[in-house]
């Protein structure tokens, strides 16, 4: 077994020099400004040791990576009732597709596409004011990451709100089917702000640890979710975590992960590691190009796979 | 840890009595005749011990379960070239949907939906006569199962051929895009016969063992596929193995599996177990209702999950 | 040739007693309150004679019938440039479908489905304030109907705005493709108000006369649009005027028409008649059930059809 | 009113020289061989006078133009029962699309797309042998055209049969829903042969005359169909006769027509003219590019439109 620290540093160096870095997301002006040359990685092993490379301490917009944390919250308050309003199947469509909603009566296919995450935000909102719900999400993520300095980037949040026409369309469309309980602008207020949370790879890997350890935060010893729920969230990440590239990610990387259009990806090797990578350039289906490549290199070098005997 | 043998027998007893058994597939007359009261299960543990319950030795039509074996064969002859003609993504549609093919130029989404498996059959045909290709598939499956008595049920094969209008449509449709190399009736000759292979749970669990052991057949000590390939087939089974119920299967059962409309399901717990279950009644998305339930019971009782820490 | 006045009165009587009256639109609370027993008809013949029956002088919400008038206005300001932003093909989908927009990059199929009419409203808005655009539409319709008393029903307009989630979704979705020039709420302000115009059959038949006379208003002698444009609007009405029931309307009624979910339909027999009917109950595809039946009776009795030799 | 003969000759001359002639259909080898420089036109006026230009006497493959004649035949034997198996709505999709069939349970949208015409062929087959049905169609067309020399081009028929994978897919797909009464290859035998009928513009214009005269053949004085049926076929031609370009054809040309991928178009001006044009190059939606342009020129010059006052 190779040395994990060396592997992580080698990958960071390879990715620093990689010529083909994908395309930085342009649909939100604030994201389009991010420098494509960034690459960061943080791996926390089973002993709680941190192994980092590149820009592991540079904060970035976590975007859809937040969907894992809000799903965890919503399952906490709503339990399996949530699944009446969101499915658990891969979508077979782009992350912001609206076609499927028309065909399936406003029930999004899973909580990791935009429509599904908006329903999850609606659950978290739960009759409170958007600012309260946003505060609760931030508190939850800070707790998981054990870092009170994590903030929501106001420029990104404003940018999302001003240009989020597709998400506004998705929310109103679901509302027309009765699958949002609040006025769309309130629910979207929550959704846009959760996407604008800024975190580093180090913070993200920390926050994701509970999913690598059957729901237990190994640092604090605190249980975040039940064993069963942790595994089920892992199953959703594997089947649905990379939009219409989820099958390909499972095939090449072989572990549960969740990507965001900010270029971040979190992933877990159950019992072995919690991982966060970041590179802003995206591939054709909207996942971090170098992030996915780095994870493939990492799991191959370490012989990590949930499908390993 | 409970005793596996006891767990298997308890599950068999529970399933024998289960009132809601799903609906036996009616689209092929020969399948419609099968008695819905059947239930069989066979689990081979890491030590090669067999644990069986119910009708574990009653042969049934493996139908789409065969797609795992033919994919394995086609990857052997074609390697990664295969992925130019078949995708690796969950379909988001029914197993026999043709919609996706029109939108994606005749490239099926994955090798485990009908269209994808027909392309795989076309690869195996590879210029030979259909009878030769069918013979090669049967030989491969007999070798894996270490049982020369396995046969193709001629009545089922005839029934498939006579009523397989949708599959004929899929094949001709892909041929119109140039994604079949042979005349559709030749490729379909192979496909219909592979679906008509009859096997018992015991035979299927044996034949599936290599996928639970990183590509190595533990009984013979022979390598069937490389470690990487075995894991990748596992990834495809997890993301695509249950048609439009794959996400749900991953969520509830948590291990790679592949179902067939004959009511069979094969599944693997990497490093730990190779499993086959059978119950003819299907759920709404075409997977064995009691088969999936039995697997959920089994993995929960044994604390098996690829997402376990 | 039967006497037109007698035919009109006989139809009104038949429709007054018809048992199967369809279903009053429920998606806007204000429309749901309308009494399903209403039926009105007004036919203006080539000599300018009015023939009325039933509730020909009861105002109702014209809803999508307004799309004919706003299309006429938008073509006046934008000319054929309009067709870069809206197609001219039947949609093959429901009036409020969003599927087609995803597939065709935010370009609605025609100006008579909701999405297309919203683009038309966006053209009419043209940098003005919504109140100005709404005023201009009202003025245009009053001029056509030669009746200054026509108003916008404020309760209906408010109801549309408060519950128009699907239309909000459509507008935001098109905006995400850049096919709206204004913020969606401004364009929708125009759209929701035009739908809330209240008119009688008598007023509508009058306002529609120019389309029955190659663009010339026979009462005033004033040209509203060119001959070519009048015919082309007629072509659009015939192919797209009844949503996904347009083919059926052309088949059974045989003349250009445009329906609205308020239960109104306008139609023209070129050179011979301008017609408006109203009955609030709708059929399965959202067109006035008795309105369409009355028009079929009328054209059959009078031997009217654009397909007649 | 300009002189029709002069107009026709001028158009033929303009089209002879037109640089942009579209693309000759390549999906059938026999069609791909046709010389794109051809252009023919024949107009029969209300007095029965023939006005021709260009290659009006060169036979070509009528392809989907045949769908008008077979629909007429099938309505004769089946009457309105036919509409239980075929719709009357524009499709909103390409002529050979299969998507809609999946969504609408194997009922094609209208008799002028391939799937619909295959159902019509199945009706005509009606328990007879394919050769008998093909003979009956040929006899019907010869009678209409008053020309016993019309034949089916055997090379085209063979070419259709050998390469018609999409049509084979459509037929088998509908058969899987029970919407074909015969084995698909029998029905397709009829369909492929009707498409391979070879006719000249002169013959086609003659055969189409009954549709310009409320169902009466003016040459023979014989009634082909009832007045109502003739008009209804006209309505179907206007709304569905040019695949996904039907709206555009109605908008620009303004009269009922039916195109074929051989480059032919028939059209009628009710009470005034029966028209056939031919130019092999097709536009993006599969209709004759110069044929449609010639018809637009003709109707504009003659002030012909079913929407004219």
DSSP string, A234-267: HHHHHHHTTGGGHHHHHHHT-S-EEE-TTSEEEE
Instruction: Identify the pLDDT of residue C219.
Output: 85
Contacts of C254 in chain D (CB under 8 A): 231-232, 235
User: How far does CA D37 lie from the centroid of its chain?
Assistant: 21
B residues 43-102 closer than 8 Å to A (CB) = 87-93, 100
Distance CA D279, CA B97 (A): 37
Using the predicted structure, report yes or no on whether residue A95 has a pLDDT greater than 70: no
User: How far does CA C73 lie from the centroid of its chain?
Assistant: 14
Q: Is C220 a known active-site residue?
A: no
Q: Which of C8, C24, C61, C64 is catalytic?
A: C64
Neighbours of chain A (3+ CB pairs under 8 A): B, C
> Which of D27, D172, D177, D179 should be substituted to probe chain B, the one whose Cβ sees the most B Cβ atoms within 10 Å?
D172
Digit-coded pLDDT (tens) for A227-270: 999 999 999 999 999 999 999 999 999 999 999 999 999 999 99
Neighbours of chain B (3+ CB pairs under 8 A): A, D
Query: How large is the average pLDDT for residues B296-303?
Result: 98
Using the predicted structure, report yes or no on whether residue B148 has a pLDDT greater than 90: yes
Using the predicted structure, report yes or no on whether residue B95 has a pLDDT greater than 70: no
Nearest-neighbour CA in chain C from A170: distance (Å): 7
Distance CA A93, CA A88 (A): 14
Task: Work out the number of other CB atoms within 10 angstroms of the CB of residue D308.
Answer: 18
Digit-coded pLDDT (tens) for A159-179: 888 889 999 999 999 999 999
Using the predicted structure, report yes or no on whether residue B27 has a pLDDT greater than 80: no
Q: Which residue of C has its CA nearest to D227?
A: C308
Instruction: Identify the pLDDT of residue D141.
Output: 98
Digit-coded pLDDT (tens) for A96-144: 678 788 888 899 999 999 999 999 999 999 999 999 999 999 999 999 9
Nearest-neighbour CA in chain C from A91: distance (Å): 15
Using the predicted structure, report yes or no on whether residue C27 has a pLDDT greater than 80: no
Residue B248 has its nearest CB partner, among A88, A92, A247, at A88
Cross-chain residue pair A238–B307, CB shorter than 8 Å: yes
Going by the DSSP 8-state scheme, the letter that residue D65 receives in this structure is: G
Query: How large is the average pLDDT for residues B23-36?
Result: 90
Using the predicted structure, report yes or no on whether residue A225 has a pLDDT greater than 90: yes
Neighbours of chain D (3+ CB pairs under 8 A): B, C
Task: Work out the number of other CB atoms within 10 angstroms of the CB of residue B84.
Answer: 10
C196: left (phi over 0), alpha (psi -120 to 50) or beta: alpha
How many CA atoms are closer than 13 Å to the CA of D212, on its beta-carbon side? Answer: 29
Question: At CA D192, angle to CA D186 and CA D197, rounded to 5?
Answer: 130
Q: Which of D24, D61, D65, D67 is catalytic?
A: D67
Contacts of C232 in chain D (CB under 8 A): 251, 254, 307
Instruction: Identify the pLDDT of residue C95.
Output: 65
Q: Which of D7, D61, D64, D259 is catalytic?
A: D64
For B3, the token pair is 């005793």
Cross-chain residue pair D184–B165, CB shorter than 8 Å: yes
Distances (CA, A) of D141 to A209, B126, B191, D66, D136: 76, 45, 42, 9, 9
Q: What is the DSSP string of C239-274?
A: HHTTGGGHHHHHHHT-S-EEE-TTSEEEEEETTTEE
Nearest-neighbour CA in chain B from A222: distance (Å): 16
Give the dihedral sign, CA A292/A295/A300/A301.
positive
SS3 A48: coil
Task: Work out the number of other CB atoms within 10 angstroms of the CB of residue A218.
Answer: 16
Backbone φ, ψ for residue B267 (5° rounding): -155, 155
Cross-chain residue pair A172–C172, CB shorter than 8 Å: yes
Contacts of D176 in chain B (CB under 8 A): 165-166, 169
* Residues with pLDDT less than 50, chain D: none
Instruction: Identify the pLDDT of residue D28.
Output: 83
The answer to whether A12 touches A54, Cβ cutoff 8 Å, is yes
Q: Is C173 a known active-site residue?
A: no
Instruction: Identify the pLDDT of residue C91.
Output: 84
Residue C270 has its nearest CB partner, among D87, D271, D307, at D307
**A249 touching C, CB under 8 A?**
no
Using the predicted structure, report yes or no on whether residue B94 has a pLDDT greater than 80: no
Distances (CA, A) of B275 to B194, B292, D7, D211: 20, 12, 79, 67
Nearest-neighbour CA in chain D from C82: distance (Å): 14
Digit-coded pLDDT (tens) for C271-302: 999 999 999 999 999 999 999 999 999 999 99
**C28 touching A, CB under 8 A?**
no
Digit-coded pLDDT (tens) for C151-162: 999 999 998 888
How many CA atoms are closer than 13 Å to the CA of C235, on its beta-carbon side? Answer: 26
> Which of D176, D178, D182 should be substituted to probe chain B, the one whose Cβ sees the most B Cβ atoms within 10 Å?
D176
Cross-chain residue pair C176–A165, CB shorter than 8 Å: yes
Nearest-neighbour CA in chain B from A261: distance (Å): 20
Q: Which residue of B has its CA nearest to D106?
A: B166
Distance CA B125, CA B187 (A): 7
D residues 179-238 closer than 8 Å to C (CB) = 212-214, 227, 230-232, 234-236, 238
Cross-chain residue pair D176–B170, CB shorter than 8 Å: no
Digit-coded pLDDT (tens) for C195-253: 999 999 999 999 999 999 999 999 889 999 999 999 999 999 999 999 999 999 999 99
**C168 touching A, CB under 8 A?**
yes
Using the predicted structure, report yes or no on whether residue B157 has a pLDDT greater than 80: yes
For D108, the token pair is 């094609």
For C116, the token pair is 């297309």
Distance CA D190, CA A214 (A): 64
Nearest-neighbour CA in chain D from B76: distance (Å): 29
> Which of A27, A114, A172 should be substituted to probe chain C, the one whose Cβ sees the most C Cβ atoms within 10 Å?
A172
Instruction: Identify the pLDDT of residue D84.
Output: 97
pTM for the whole structure: 0.94
**C172 touching A, CB under 8 A?**
yes
Residue B176 has its nearest CB partner, among D103, D165, D176, at D165
> Which of D250, D272, D297, D304 should be substituted to probe chain C, the one whose Cβ sees the most C Cβ atoms within 10 Å?
D250
SS (H, E, C) A111-152: CCCHHHHHHHHHHHHCCCCHHHHHHHHHHHHHHHHCCCCCEE
Alpha helices (H) in B18-55, listed in sequence order: 29-32
Query: How large is the average pLDDT for residues B9-33?
Result: 93
Q: Which residue of B has its CA nearest to D94?
A: B102
Q: Active-site positions of A? A: 64, 67, 191, 243, 261
Alpha helices (H) in chain D, listed in sequence order: 4-17, 29-32, 66-78, 99-103, 114-125, 130-145, 154-163, 165-176, 184-195, 201-212, 227-240, 246-252, 289-302
Q: Is C191 a known active-site residue?
A: yes
Nearest-neighbour CA in chain D from B161: distance (Å): 12
For D81, the token pair is 């029962």
């Amino acid at each position: 077994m190779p040395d994990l620290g060396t592997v992580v540093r080698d990958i960071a160096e390879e990715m620093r020099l990689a010529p083909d870095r994908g395309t930085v997301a342009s649909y939100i002006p604030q994201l389009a400004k991010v420098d494509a040359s960034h690459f960061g990685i943080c791996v926390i092993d089973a002993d709680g040791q941190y192994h980092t490379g590149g820009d592991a301490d540079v904060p970035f917009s976590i975007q859809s990576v937040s969907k894992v944390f809000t799903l965890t919250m919503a399952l906490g308050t709503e339990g399996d009732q949530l699944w009446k309003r969101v499915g658990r199947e891969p979508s077979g469509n782009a992350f912001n597709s609206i076609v499927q909603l028309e065909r399936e009566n406003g029930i999004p296919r899973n909580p990791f596409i935009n429509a599904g995450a908006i329903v999850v935000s609606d659950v978290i909102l739960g009759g409170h004011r958007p600012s309260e719900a946003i505060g609760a999400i931030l508190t939850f993520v800070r707790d998981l990451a054990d870092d009170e300095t994590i903030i929501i980037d106001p420029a990104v949040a404003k940018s999302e709100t001003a240009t989020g026409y597709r998400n506004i369309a998705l929310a109103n469309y679901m509302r027309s089917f009765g699958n949002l309980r609040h006025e769309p602008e309130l629910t979207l207020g929550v959704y846009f702000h959760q996407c604008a949370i800024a975190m580093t790879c180090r913070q993200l890997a920390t926050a994701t640890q509970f999913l690598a350890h059957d729901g237990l935060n190994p640092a604090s010893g605190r249980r975040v979710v039940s064993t069963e729920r942790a595994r089920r969230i892992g199953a959703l990440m594997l089947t649905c975590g990379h939009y219409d590239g989820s099958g390909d990610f499972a095939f090449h990387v072989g572990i549960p992960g969740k990507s965001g259009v900010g270029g971040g990806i979190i992933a877990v090797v159950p019992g072995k590691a919690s991982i966060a990578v970041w590179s802003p350039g995206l591939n054709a289906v909207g996942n971090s190009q170098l992030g996915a490549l780095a994870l493939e290199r990492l799991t191959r070098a370490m012989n990590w796979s949930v499908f390993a005997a």
